[in-house]
Amino acid sequence: MKSIAAAGLLAGSALVLTACGDLDLDFGPRSEAVEKYDVTDAVSALRIESGSGDVVVTESARTGIAVTETLHYRGDKPTDGHEVGNGTLTLSYTCEDCSIDYDVQVPKGLNVKVDTGSGEITLRALSGPVDVSTGSGEVDASGLLAKTFRAEAGSGSVEAKFGAAPDSVTIETGSGDGIAWVPGGTYHATLETGSGEQTLEVANDPSAAKKIVIQSGSGDSKVLKL
């Protein structure tokens, strides 16, 4: 019986080794490249579509848009992935095994939309409309003067700090905290959470014109006063 068991074990090992032998385990070295460029076309909107990578968008008193892309890839280097059309600058790449980190400097008032599969999104001092989403990663926004703000994170927290009272804020998280910091005042605030704390530090009036909605599947929902 021991001989039969040993033979079976050896046969099983042979099967495992054979299966592994068929796999291509040489993925090749990972490369990195940095691309910098300016966009001087007249644009009113920025759209970033990224499968994987971190995104930073910062507003300042500048003209034109400055873009820094850090490419992480195997095999062939991804080709340039930016275009301007209908007043929108779109940044995106299509590649098999790569991630792109974006650092974008924008002028005042630009409409900003970011959609990334996984990665952190950092927003600084944006005054135009904001609509961002990440499948997995944090959203960190501060110094906001935007009147409308929407952020969604499938897995990760969203925290937004406003320097002026916004008209409309929507924050949705699957797992993670949703937090909005706003100046004092009266808002129509709706807080929902599957499991987590709800905190409201501003006056709440269903008839108020300024609206805040924070929904979290697993995490805290908070509206905090600056």
Per-residue confidence (pLDDT) for residue 81, from 0 to 100: 79
Per-residue confidence (pLDDT) for residue 27, from 0 to 100: 59
Confidence of residue 158 (pLDDT cuts 50, 70, 90): very high
The candidate with the shortest Cα–Cα distance to 208, out of 165, 144, 154, is: 165
Res 88 pLDDT > 50: yes
The model's pTM is 0.87
Per-residue confidence (pLDDT) for residue 94, from 0 to 100: 78
Amino acid making up residue 55: V
> Would you tell me how many other CB atoms lie within 10 Å of the CB of residue 62?
13
**Spatial CB neighbours of 165, under 8 Å, sequence gap ≥ 6:** 182, 183, 185, 210
Confidence of residue 19 (pLDDT cuts 50, 70, 90): very low
Per-residue confidence (pLDDT) for residue 188, from 0 to 100: 99
Res 9 pLDDT > 60: no
65-74 and 98-106 strand pairing: antiparallel
The candidate with the shortest Cα–Cα distance to 170, out of 152, 156, 144, 154, is: 152
Per-residue confidence (pLDDT) for residue 159, from 0 to 100: 99
